[in-house]
Structure formats: C-alpha cells, structure tokens
Amino acid sequence: MAVERTLSIIKPDATRRNITGAITAQLEEAGLRVVAQKRLRIDRAQAEQFYAVHRDRAFFDDLCDFMTSGPIVVQVLEGDNAISRNRDVMGATNPANAKEGTIRKEFGESVEANSVHGSDAPETAAAEIAFFFSGTDIVG
C-alpha cells in the first residue's frame, strides 16, 4: 500500500456545532494521521477558486455562500491509501445515502452541509494541499 496525503476540510456546519474533535477522532480511528491543521475563514474568491470545478453547477453559489458562512478546519491527512480511505470514512456526498458509521451519516445535515470535504484523486489532493499549506507546514 502506498502512503498518501490528502486534504480534509471540516466544514462550517461542523465548526458551528463544535464537533471538529469528534470528526477528527473518526479520521484517526480510520488510520489517518493529521500531519497539518489550521482553522480559518475563507473569503468568496477563495471559495470560488477552491470549488472552480463546480462553477457551472446549480449549487455553486449556495455552496460558496455556505463555505464562507463560518470557520473551517483544513487538515492534511496521511496514511496508507489516504485519499480513498478518507473518502470511505467520509461517506456519500448526500448524508441520506451515506453508509452507517461514516462521518456524513453521523454528522451531515444536508447534501450541502455535509460536514467534511476530501480530495478525490492524487492530482486534486496535491493541488488542494498546496492551496492551503506550504511544505514546511506539514510535519509527518
């Protein structure tokens, strides 16, 4: 198995409910290690840039509103197959479709306010990590 790094975001619905620790505990229980972390607020331009791949989708404006509505916690997660491992523990995009035991099943409020983001491929993981962190921020 390959050791990978992936970007995780704990979204504003979760920081609002003070469940960042509960979510991080699930990530750690899944074998993922937090090797960088910070809490911040992103502005509209940053949200639009981060989610640019979705700019033509009907939910894009609402998604950018939501992601700028409160603080987020961004994390670099490291572990064997970290990208797919994180996607597995996150669960399906829509919490209503997420499997038992996943973060989105337990904590997600709606298809938009679904508590966590996770990179979906090695290329996006590298780009998304670089969006928030420099190399010296990451301590493996």
Nearest-Å Rg of the Cα atoms of the chain is 14
Q: Is 86 helix (H, G, I), strand (E, B) or coil?
A: helix
93 touching ligand ADP, by CB under 6 A: yes
Interacting residues of 12 by C-beta distance below 8 A, sequence separation 6+: 66, 67, 69, 70, 71, 72, 113
131 touching ligand ADP, by CB under 6 A: no
112 touching ligand ADP, by CB under 6 A: yes
Candidate list 39, 55, 59, 61; residue touching ligand ADP; CB under 6 A: 59
Tell me 54's DSSP state. Answer: G
- Is 54 a residue of the active site? no
Candidate list 42, 47, 63, 77; residue touching ligand ADP; CB under 6 A: 63
Tell me whether residue 65 or residue 137 sits nearer to ligand ADP (CB atom). 65
- By CB under 6 A, which span of 36-44, 77-85, 113-121, 125-133 interacts with ligand ADP? 113-121
84/97 Cα distance (integer angstroms): 18
Tell me whether residue 122 or residue 137 sits nearer to ligand ADP (CB atom). 122
Amino acid identity, position 122: P
Please answer whether residues 21 and 37 qualify as being in contact, where contact means their C-beta atoms are separated by less than 8 angstroms. Answer: no
Tell me whether residue 79 or residue 118 sits nearer to ligand ADP (CB atom). 118
Q: Is 41 helix (H, G, I), strand (E, B) or coil?
A: coil
Tell me whether residue 17 or residue 137 sits nearer to ligand ADP (CB atom). 17
Catalytic residue among 117, 129, 132, 133: 117
User: How many Cβ atoms sit within 10 Å of the Cβ of residue 134?
Assistant: 9
114 touching ligand ADP, by CB under 6 A: yes
Active site residues: 117
